[in-house]
Structure 1
Amino acid sequence: MIKVMIERKIQFGEEQAYDLAAQKMLSAVLLCKGYISSEQLFVRGKANHRVIITTWQSTHDWEAWASSAERNVAISFFEPLLIEQERVLVLKY
């Protein structure tokens, strides 16, 4: 089992649009092989800063999702709302 931490910084004023797009991402990932769970955390005092932590059965499952057409489509909805490219860390136990 692995955890993947994704950090995203959103343009100020676009937080609501981002949250709607993130819901589309969640809908897509729920059907993905190896996906276990996720949580979205808010950085205290920074309304435009999100950290998403997902749990996967294996690195292979995460990599399949990370390079999938479904994820690329979902990301295309909120990528224009970001200040910088998302940062991804794959964490192992």
Structure 2
Amino acid sequence: MMTVVTEVTLKPGCEPEWDAAMRERLSAAHERPGWVGGQLTIPLDAPHKRAVIGTWESRADWEAWHEDDTFAETRTRMDGLQEGRGEMVWYEVVTEGRA
């Protein structure tokens, strides 16, 4: 399994619209092969920033997701709400624990 963490900074006042688009994106990801789970998080000391944590069976599954129509449509909407591009870091999942 692979986990990708993407950090973005949002333009002031765009947070609700960006969050709504990300919820839509995460909901659509549930139907994708290889999807394990994800989270949208907000740092306590930076309400204009977001970290998106997504876990996939493989990086190839994640890359295929980027060809999905819902992903492309939300990317178009979200890019205009962000300050610059997000920063992405990949992690190999060594072990996992969930309730």
- Equivalences for residues 23-42 of structure 1 within 5 A: 23-42=23-42
Q: Name whichever structure is richer in helix by fraction.
A: 1
Match of 1:78 in 2: 78
* RMSD (Å) for aligned C-alpha atoms: 1.4
For normalisation by structure 1, the TM-score amounts to: 0.88
Structure 1 counterpart of 2:23, one-letter code: Q
Structure 2 CA distance for aligned equivalents of residues 32 and 78 of structure 1? 20
Match of 1:47 in 2: 47
Structure 1 CA distance for aligned equivalents of residues 74 and 54 of structure 2? 16
Count of aligned positions: 93
Cα distance, 1:48 vs structure 2: 0.8
Structure 1 or 2, whichever has the larger Rg, is 2
Structure 2 CA distance for aligned equivalents of residues 75 and 28 of structure 1? 13
Aligned residues with identical type, % of pairs: 24
Structure 1 portions without partners, runs of 5+: none
**SS in structure 2 at match of 1:39:** strand
Structure 1 CA distance for aligned equivalents of residues 71 and 88 of structure 2? 14
Contact 1:8 1:51 in 2 (8 A): yes
For normalisation by structure 2, the TM-score amounts to: 0.84
1:14 aligns with 2:6: no
Structure 2 CA distance for aligned equivalents of residues 3 and 61 of structure 1? 12
Structure 1 CA distance for aligned equivalents of residues 4 and 52 of structure 2? 8
